[in-house]
């Protein structure tokens, strides 16, 4: 099919590349000329596994990039809207960009088209989009609006798209539903997975993909409710971890026991410094705003958000407890992105922790495999500098903080770290290491929801002598 995708952010760009991968002719539209130019030149503008390969494979052939939205609409039978819907001060989703796009689409509907809202939007938005298209001149016989929410995790977005848990199509129009089913047929039949050169299938990926058709408003609700539930799971286990610390339990063992129950599962039972990113925070606020608007209330969401904010304060206390005082301390920070596998720092709890530590007058040397350039653009504080490796960040630091769960942080050379650190102290906000491992390697190790390990006197004394000698 001929497809237009409006927006080249994380959702739009991944969707465009993956739609081209399963055989469609795709035009990706963005009003940022610099970004479009970079994409035309083959540059991958975000850090996402497999995305550079897909852009190279399809760029210039069945995947094109343009700033000309009217032409893209006219050339396509299906138009996806994948623009941002950031939160307003009240928590409601800002739909102004979506409205602007609808205006331009309406002016160029010259034959039947399926207009697909892929942006995350409050329940009822697709009805609003339909009215706006008609208001701006589109004939109601020439289009149908369909909801097709995305469920992509940054870092694994390509495989999430090509091997999804489910594909949700929300439509009250039989013709558009049939077109959307045909659009995703390579995934729902398993044909793509069997094709030559297919992106590797992740472990436990469901094959073929399950397609679920719903009413439009149900599809919109599924997206917000799913993210709210996952965020609730994160906040729940963080609250449990805080109880474990004072009660003398080990939250890792608690997670294993809980996760073994198939009704609960072990995914997202990962205590740490809280959730972040571009989805969970804004989607919780948006769902809470919808509940408030309809007068139903959803006070559970308020508590989920409160726990998430408090978790950062608790972690700051851990750092202070490990070092006694913070002013003037040199800290090695590993991780700036909101999660491993991405360069996205939007609503990153790691960035929030850096800001809190800078307010405490700490000197921070940070390292992240992908997110340092984006972080540089956010800070002009001389107290924050950047290192080229975890070991460079650790050199002469009073302690090391783990703030993002990058896989490379799980295989660090502890002997080398001890030589680089001024004191063998690691405060881990992601529970990357086992207590036994850290005790064996002679670290004072502070994590979330678990007992601390303390460096032996001999280890500490030897390290102190090495520091003084240097």
Number of helices followed by number of strands (H, E) in the chain: 19, 14
Which residues, 6 or more positions from 356, have their beta carbon under 8 angstroms from its beta carbon?
A: 312, 316
Task: Give the CA angle between residues 223, 227, 233 to the nearest 5°.
Answer: 150
Omega of the bond leading into 208 within 30 degrees of 0 (cis): yes
- C-beta of residue 216 within 8 angstroms of C-beta of residue 223: no
Catalytic center residues: 279
Number of neighbours of residue 250 by Cβ within 10 angstroms: 16
* 3-class secondary-structure state, position 65: strand
Token readout for 354 is 């850096």
Cα–Cα distance for residue pair 370/304, rounded to 1 Å: 29
Question: In the sheet that 444-446 helps form, which strands lie side by side, from edge to edge?
Answer: 384-386, 363-367, 330-334, 399-402, 425-428, 444-446
Count Cβ atoms below 10 Å from residue 274 Cβ, excluding itself: 26
Residue 232 vs residues 268, 285, 398: alpha-carbon distances, Å: 9, 13, 34
Q: What whole-number distance in Å separates Cα of residue 65 and Cα of residue 72? A: 10
- CA distances to 63, 162, 415 from 447, rounded to whole Å, are 46, 36, 20
As beta bridge partners, residue 384 has 364
Helix (H) or strand (E) holding 16: helix 10-21
Which residue, chain included where needed, has tokens 């000329």? 33
- From the number of C-beta atoms within 10 Å of its C-beta (0-12, 13-18, 19+), residue 203 rates as exposed
């Amino acid at each position: 099919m001929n497809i237009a995708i409006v927006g080249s952010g994380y959702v739009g760009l991944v969707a465009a590349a993956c739609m081209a991968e399963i055989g469609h002719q795709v035009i990706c539209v963005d009003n940022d000329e610099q970004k479009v130019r970079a994409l035309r030149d083959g540059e991958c503008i975000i850090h996402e596994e497999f995305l550079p390969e897909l852009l190279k494979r399809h760029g210039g052939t069945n995947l094109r990039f343009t700033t000309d939205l009217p032409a893209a609409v006219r050339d396509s039978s299906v138009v996806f809207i994948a623009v941002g819907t950031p939160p307003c001060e009240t928590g409601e989703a800002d739909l102004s960009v979506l409205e602007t796009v609808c205006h331009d689409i309406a002016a160029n509907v010259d034959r039947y088209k399926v207009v697909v809202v892929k942006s995350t939007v409050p329940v009822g938005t697709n009805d609003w989009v339909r009215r706006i298209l008609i208001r701006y001149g589109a004939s109601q016989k020439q289009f149908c609006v369909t909801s097709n929410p995305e469920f992509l995790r940054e870092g694994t977005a390509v495989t999430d798209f090509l091997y999804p848990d489910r594909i949700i199509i929300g439509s009250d129009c039989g013709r558009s539903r049939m077109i959307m089913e045909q659009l995703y047929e390579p995934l729902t039949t398993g044909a793509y997975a069997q094709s030559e050169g297919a992106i590797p299938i992740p472990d436990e990926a469901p094959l073929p993909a399950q397609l679920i058709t719903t009413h439009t408003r149900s599809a919109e609700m599924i997206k917000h409710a799913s993210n709210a539930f996952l965020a609730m799971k994160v906040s729940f286990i963080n609250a449990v971890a805080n109880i474990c610390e004072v009660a003398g339990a080990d939250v890792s063992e608690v997670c294993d026991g809980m996760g073994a129950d198939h009704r609960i599962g072990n995914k997202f039972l990962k205590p740490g410094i809280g959730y972040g990113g571009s989805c969970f925070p804004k989607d919780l606020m948006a769902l809470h705003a919808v509940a408030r608007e309809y007068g139903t209330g959803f006070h559970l969401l308020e508590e989920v958000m409160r726990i998430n904010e408090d978790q950062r304060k608790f972690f700051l206390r851990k750092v202070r407890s490990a070092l006694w005082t913070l002013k003037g301390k040199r800290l090695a920070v590993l991780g700036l992105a909101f999660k491993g596998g991405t360069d996205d720092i939007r609503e990153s709890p790691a960035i929030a922790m850096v800001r809190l530590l800078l307010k405490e007058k700490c000197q921070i040397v940070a390292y992240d495999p992908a997110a340092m350039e984006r972080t540089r653009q956010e800070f002009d504080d001389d107290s924050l500098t950047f290192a080229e490796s975890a070991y460079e960040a650790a050199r002469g630091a009073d302690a090391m903080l783990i703030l993002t769960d990058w896989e490379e942080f799980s295989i660090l050379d502890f002997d080398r770290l001890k030589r680089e650190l001024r004191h063998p102290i690691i405060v881990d906000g992601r529970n990357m290491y086992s207590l036994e491992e850290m005790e064996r390697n002679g670290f004072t190790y502070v994590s979330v929801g678990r007992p601390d390990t303390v460096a032996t006197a001999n280890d500490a004394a030897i390290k102190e002598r090495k520091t003084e000698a240097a």
